[in-house]
Structure 1
Amino acid sequence: MKTEKVRNFLPLAGLLIVFIAFAVLSGGRNLTSSNLQSIFNQSFFIMLAGICATFVYAHGGIDLSIGGLEGICMLIAVVSMRNIGFVPALILVILTGIVSGILIGGISVYGNIPVFITGLSLQYIYRGILKVATSKALITVPNQYTWLDSWGVKAVVLVAAAAVVGYLFKYTKIGRYEKAIGGNATATTLCGVNAKKYSVLAYVILGIGVGIAGLFAMVRAGGVNPQAGAAYEMDVLIAVVLGGMPLTGGAAARVRCGIIGALLIVVIENGFVLLGADPNLVDGIKGIIFIATVFVTIARRKGQVVN
């Protein structure tokens, strides 16, 4: 029990240590109000998807299509906001996320196709659509919607998402079943749980989160281009792992993992930028950190990721 508590505390401790280290190295430049707002604005999109991804990772799943999905949702959002308004745009990106979740979950679960392959396939499909739609010019967001880029608005959205997802994950059968599936899918099915249905539902919840994040990402970027959402899926994956999420799922899955991990990634990126590091070098460092994190969470004797 004590070992588990220590392991759960490590990601938060790592975030605090990294933040303090960059505060010292940068002479306190990362402590300015403008920089703290920048850290929040950059991590918001990863945190939102990371929170919703808890259900997917809890049952041992993975979704590599969300980068392309975010790009598609950015496209749908900007076109909708230019023509029919904000509320229809919000509804459409949520519906898009739901459809995408049903697709990846349904194809992989009911079609017996590895979710890794399904996710990559959908990623290419989404990317192809996005490139065709934005090949001629950048599609920009109308100026009247720039208020959505406020950190205050995003803070409200993030708190609401964390509250809803946290309640569903901790106090309802959705969260309990997802963790049970990650622990032992066969035993869960034998207990009468429709594991396939709840696995698909997990991808739907993640799709909704990505859809909403895509709308805000579009406003943040000022529009949409062919590279919209690039590497988003890896940022979310690295975030949940750095936050302490076991890749095999199970009872150790926590909603806070996506929040802590997202902040840790952005604090590291921001810190190196303040120190004058090449952005390409920062991407390489993220990859090294990800490999190291997975390595230390491996149960060496069993060859499995620790729960």
Structure 2
Amino acid sequence: MKKDFWTFFQRLFPFVGLIVIIVIFTIINQGNMWSATNLLTVISIMIPLCLGGSGMVFVAAQGSTDLSMGSLVALCGTIAGIASMSLGFWAFIVISLAVGIGVGILNGVIVSKCKVSSLMVTLAMLIALRALVAFITNGQVFFVDQQILMLNRMEIKLPIFLGVIALMWYLFEYTKIGYFSRCMGENQTVGKFAGISVAKYQILGFALSGAMAGMIGIFTVGSIGGISPTMGNFLELQVMIAMFVGGVPVTGGAGSKFYKVVVGALMLAFLQNGLTVSRVSAEMSELIQGIILICVVFFGLFVRQKYIQRQIARELQ
């Protein structure tokens, strides 16, 4: 049977957006964005967005929200960085991941067991964690051991990033946690009657989001060479923009696909880099990104609605 147009276009849509952005900025900058140095910059922008999205997509697929990621990145990097001064390099890695997972589990428990909106829980956590980081650092910058700076070398950072992304892709696309997360996003009540342990998978989803915050914290401390109370500022918004621009539905469900996270991260990385190379001011850059997000989300919802209408029409035939 010939594929329905809207079904095909829904899958193709993120790639179309990425190609359009690349072509536009290639023309504007006369191909300068394809230099080796600039491509490394694009990859550096893309890595935290992709890591954050690979964790947050589990939460988003369930129809929930995680606004605490940026503050959690700062907390993970701060606690792990301070601990590394006396415990060493490997303690830095373990503690950052442990803090991220621990706070993620706490978010999941409050959302699933206490029945509090994920928006309210993670918004409160965003404020609380940022205040905790400010208290721990006293607003000061701390430098870490030189060994941690090796994590910013691309020959080390890139293989680790690719390995983590491959693992998260497998978990989301081929295991129960990814499948059940998408089912919960479609209809949580039906999921309960189908035997899905909703609370368990909500906690696991937030735990994975927290783990990726810990991973970003590791790379962030390695890239800036120390601890800063401003680490991760607005990262959660950047990650959400990347996911939604890539085509992950705002409401979650079956339309949540892992490749959309990767494409969205690339799209936003090329957009931010292209605006910078084009010497667009920071204020104007944010305005352009906001307008593009509104347009892409609106068009994405339009395409999805057409797809759903087509599916209903087929079932009625």
Select 1:82's aligned residue among 80, 85, 95: 85
Give a deviation string over 1:164-212, Cα, whole Å, max 9, x none.
1122222221111111111111111001111111111101011101101
Residue of structure 2 in register with 1:258 after alignment: 261
Q: Is residue 63–residue 119 contact of structure 1 (8 Å, CA) maintained in 2?
A: yes
**Aligned residue pair count:** 305
Q: How does 1:23-62 map to 2 (within 5 A)?
A: 23-62=26-65
Tell me how far apart the structure 1 counterparts of residues 304 and 219 of structure 2 sit (CA, whole Å): 44
| Residue identity opposite 2:174 in structure 1 | Y
| Residue identity opposite 1:123 in structure 2 | L
| Residue identity opposite 1:258 in structure 2 | V
Select 1:176's aligned residue among 168, 175, 179: 179
Select 1:194's aligned residue among 187, 192, 197: 197
| Residue identity opposite 1:16 in structure 2 | I
Q: How does 1:12-23 map to 2 (within 5 A)?
A: 12-23=15-26
Q: TM-score, normalised by structure 1?
A: 0.94
Select 1:105's aligned residue among 90, 96, 108: 108
Q: How does 1:77-226 map to 2 (within 5 A)?
A: 77-226=80-229
Q: Is residue 50–residue 257 contact of structure 1 (8 Å, CA) maintained in 2?
A: no
Give a deviation string over 1:235-268, Cα, whole Å, max 9, x none.
0100000111011111111111221111111211
- Sort the Cα spacing of 1:24 and 1:299 in 2 relative to 1 into closer, same or farther, 3 A: closer
Q: Which moved more, 1:237-246 or 1:288-297?
A: 288-297
Q: Is residue 80–residue 86 contact of structure 1 (8 Å, CA) maintained in 2?
A: no
Q: Is residue 44–residue 154 contact of structure 1 (8 Å, CA) maintained in 2?
A: no
Q: Is residue 145–residue 219 contact of structure 1 (8 Å, CA) maintained in 2?
A: yes
Residue of structure 2 in register with 1:70 after alignment: 73
Select 2:273's aligned residue among 270, 275, 293: 270
Tell me how far apart the structure 1 counterparts of residues 172 and 139 of structure 2 sit (CA, whole Å): 43
Q: Is residue 51–residue 256 contact of structure 1 (8 Å, CA) maintained in 2?
A: no
Greater fraction helix = 2
Q: Measure how far apart 1:78 and its partner are.
A: 1.7
| Residue identity opposite 1:240 in structure 2 | M
Q: Is residue 61–residue 182 contact of structure 2 (8 Å, CA) maintained in 1?
A: yes
Q: Measure how far apart 1:300 and its partner are.
A: 10
Moved over 4 A (4+): 299-302
| Residue identity opposite 2:243 in structure 1 | V
Q: Is residue 10–residue 304 contact of structure 2 (8 Å, CA) maintained in 1?
A: no
Give a deviation string over 1:97-143, Cα, whole Å, max 9, x none.
11111111111221111110101100111110111222352111222
Q: Measure how far apart 1:77 and its partner are.
A: 2.6
| Residue identity opposite 2:98 in structure 1 | L
Tell me how far apart the structure 1 counterparts of residues 169 and 206 of structure 2 sit (CA, whole Å): 16
Tell me how far apart the structure 2 counterparts of residues 73 and 20 of structure 1 sit (CA, whole Å): 38
Tell me how far apart the structure 2 counterparts of residues 102 and 299 of structure 1 sit (CA, whole Å): 35
Q: Measure how far apart 1:273 and its partner are.
A: 1.1
- 2:300 is the alignment partner of 1:292: no
Select 2:9's aligned residue among 3, 6, 9: 6
Higher Cα radius of gyration: 2
Residue of structure 2 in register with 1:282 after alignment: 285
Please tell me the root mean square deviation across aligned C-alpha atoms, in Å.
Answer: 2.0
Tell me how far apart the structure 1 counterparts of residues 293 and 304 of structure 2 sit (CA, whole Å): 21
| Residue identity opposite 1:257 in structure 2 | K
Tell me how far apart the structure 2 counterparts of residues 207 and 18 of structure 1 sit (CA, whole Å): 31
Other structure's SS at 2:171 match: helix
Give a deviation string over 1:33-73, Cα, whole Å, max 9, x none.
00000110111111111112221111111100011001101
Tell me how far apart the structure 1 counterparts of residues 190 and 139 of structure 2 sit (CA, whole Å): 53
Other structure's SS at 2:17 match: helix
- Sort the Cα spacing of 1:136 and 1:194 in 2 relative to 1 into closer, same or farther, 3 A: closer
Q: Is residue 140–residue 229 contact of structure 2 (8 Å, CA) maintained in 1?
A: no
Q: Measure how far apart 1:92 and its partner are.
A: 0.8
- Sort the Cα spacing of 1:249 and 1:136 in 2 relative to 1 into closer, same or farther, 3 A: closer
Q: TM-score, normalised by structure 2?
A: 0.91
